[in-house]
Amino acid sequence: MSGLIESKVHPFYSPTKILFGVGSASGVDEEIRLLGGRKPLIVTDPGVVKADLLDAVVKPLEASGLSFSVFSKVEPEPPARVVDEAADQFKRDACDSVIGVGGGSSLDVAKGVAVLATNQGSILDLCGMEQVKRKGVPKILMPTTAGTGSEVTRVLVITDESDNTKKVVYSIHTLADVAIVDPNLTLSMPKSVTADTGVDALVHAVETYVSANATPFSDVLAQSPIQWIAEYLPVAWAKGSNLTARYYMSLAATMAGLAFASGGLGAVHALAYPLGTEYHMPHGRSNAIMLPHVMKYNLSGSPEKYAAVAELMGKDVEGLSVREAAELAVEAVLELLEAIDISCRLRDYGIPEEDIPKLTEGGMKQSRLFVPNPRDLDEKDVRAIYEAAY
Ligand code: NAD
């Protein structure tokens, strides 16, 4: 547990219901009925459609005679205009509920549509802390990646194309009424998506675990995901059809989502965001690149927690000092990244060294995330971390 944990009041956010398990997608029709939905808008992206994943949702809806519309134009790291466009379709097609099916991009757009159905304006007007005035229409979120945990968070992340930054809506009204987490839906993920999204879940668990905002809930919910991801991500990457590995990765991602939604994130996310917006790098990949470098920097701020991370990731820490054990956490992450073929060197992605000042400026724009980070950072530190990552 964290040092000052006893003197704090801890919020904990979660959806009303989580339906977890192999085959759980087949219950989507009953869940939408229980929520009073008669015509849901299914929100998804072209990759999910191409992977034939919509059948898992459409077939049960058709079998129980429910009508629905489909918006399948979600873009990765979704720009605000995509949310607004999907919300327009919701109104045009006279829908009354939302089902998000896909990775974090689709689920975040689905959350946005649900709140724009009952709140005026653009999704950009709702960014910030608890700016959403009215609860949205009923929504079910069904992840097809094992990464973001968006199905259980009160967060939705969009790209503001006017200044090329990520903007976040934090609101209890973005929480799912029902999250349906079916590992079957993740079996078709290609290797690179498996790797990127899996490390995203690890970043959620580790950042929350070492966070100054860690809570008794987030501590417990972060530990098992760290263990499962170290064990099962290389297996899911090596053999996509391995249902046991997919099962534990889905469980890890959802639990890590519950953990970070209450415990908060840190400098990995802050320094990863500019990589996403500047170079259109997938969210999970940009987090993966920054993770070992930020961990190395952070060790002195939370050595006991990092030592625990090392142990959870399978390192033998017996007889070591806390600092030595903590250093093994970085080693464990580097080994995991190597096993799933992810380079954590900026140069390997064609990013020029001259861009480090621009990245530093972008990272500093996310300095709100430095507050819960276990070690303070200033501009000089941010630049040094990017240089180390280069
Ligand atoms: P994504 O949703 O952008 O999907 C990545 C790609 O994988 C897409 O092309 C998609 O079509 C494809 N894909 C997804 N599932 C598949 C499957 N089963 N089979 C084949 N292809 C599949 O990726 P993501 O990493 O899940 O989401 C990233 C987004 O989530 C970012 O915008 C990020 O900022 C956001 N995010 C949100 C939260 C939150 O709490 N709301 C948390 C973390 C990240």
pLDDT at 1: 47
pLDDT for the residue 318: 96
Start-to-end C-alpha separation, the chain:
34
So what's the pLDDT on residue 6? 66
The predicted pLDDT at position 264 comes to 83
* Residue 41 host element (H or E): strand 40-43
Rounded to whole angstroms, the Cα distance separating 68 from 87 reads 15
Strands in 97-102's sheet, in edge-to-edge order, are 17-20, 178-181, 139-143, 97-102, 40-43, 69-71
Mean pLDDT over all residues of the chain? 95
Digit-coded pLDDT (tens) for 289-300: 999 999 999 999
Q: Could you tell me which CATH number the domain at 191-389 has?
A: 1.20.1090.10
Q: Note whether 161 and 141 are within 8 A (CB).
A: no
Q: Which residue CA neighbors atom 23 of ligand 1 most closely? A: 103
Residue 254, ligand 1, Cβ within 6 A: no
**pLDDT, position 9:** 85
Nearest alpha carbon to residue 44 among 146, 145, 122, 134:
145
Question: Distance from the CA of 194 to the center of ligand 1, in angstroms?
Answer: 10
Question: pLDDT tens across 371-387, in order?
Answer: 999 999 999 999 999 99
pLDDT at 161 over 70: yes
Q: Looking at the CA of residue 174, tell me the nearest atom of ligand 1.
A: 41
Q: What's the rounded mean pLDDT across residues 266-280? A: 93
**2 confidence band (pLDDT: 50, 70, 90):** very low
Of all protein residues, the one whose alpha carbon is nearest to atom 40 of ligand 1 is: 150
**Which protein residue's CA is at the shortest distance from atom 4 of ligand 1?**
103
Task: Supply the CATH classification number for the domain 17-186.
Answer: 3.40.50.1970
Contact criterion met (CB below 8 Å) for 120 and 231 = no
Global pTM value: 0.96
pLDDT, tens digit, 9 for 90 and up, residues 8-19: 788 899 999 999
- Is ligand 1 within 6 A of the CB of residue 188? yes
- Is the pLDDT at 47 greater than 70? The verdict is yes
> What pLDDT score does 4 carry?
53
User: Which letter does DSSP use for residue 135 in this model?
Assistant: -
- pLDDT tens digits, one per residue of 219-248: 999 999 999 999 999 999 999 999 999 999
Is any atom of ligand 1 closer than 6 Å to the C-beta of 258?
no
Q: Ligand 1: which residue has its CA nearest to atom 42?
A: 148
- The domain limits of the chain are 17-186, 191-389
* Ligand 1, atom 20, residue with closest C-alpha: 189
Q: Is the CB of 301 under 6 A from ligand 1?
A: no
197 Cβ closer than 6 Å to some ligand 1 atom:
yes
The residues facing 98 across adjacent strands are 41, 139
Q: Which atom of ligand 1 is nearest to 193's Cα?
A: 7
Span from the CA of 212 to the centroid of ligand 1 (angstroms)? 27
Looking at 117-215, list the stretches that DSSP marks H as alpha helix, in order from N- to C-terminal side.
191-209
H/E run at residue 253: helix 243-263
Please work out whether the CB of residue 105 comes within 6 Å of at least one atom of ligand 1: yes
pLDDT 10s digits, 301-332: 999 999 999 999 999 999 999 999 999 999 99
Shortest-distance Cα residue to atom 25 of ligand 1: 197
Segment 164-204, tens digit of pLDDT: 888 999 999 999 999 999 999 999 999 999 999 999 999 99
pLDDT at 5: 58
CA of 14 to the centre of ligand 1 (A): 20
% of the chain residues with pLDDT over 90: 94
**Distance from chain centroid for Cα 252:** 11
Task: Read off the pLDDT band of 263 (50, 70, 90).
Answer: confident
Mean pLDDT of 106-127: 97
Atom of ligand 1 nearest to the CA of 197: 25
Atom 26 of ligand 1: nearest residue by CA position = 103
Question: Alpha-carbon distance 96 to 300, whole Å?
Answer: 51
Using a 6 Å cutoff on CB, does residue 84 contact ligand 1?
no
**CA 364/CA 116 separation, integer angstroms:** 30
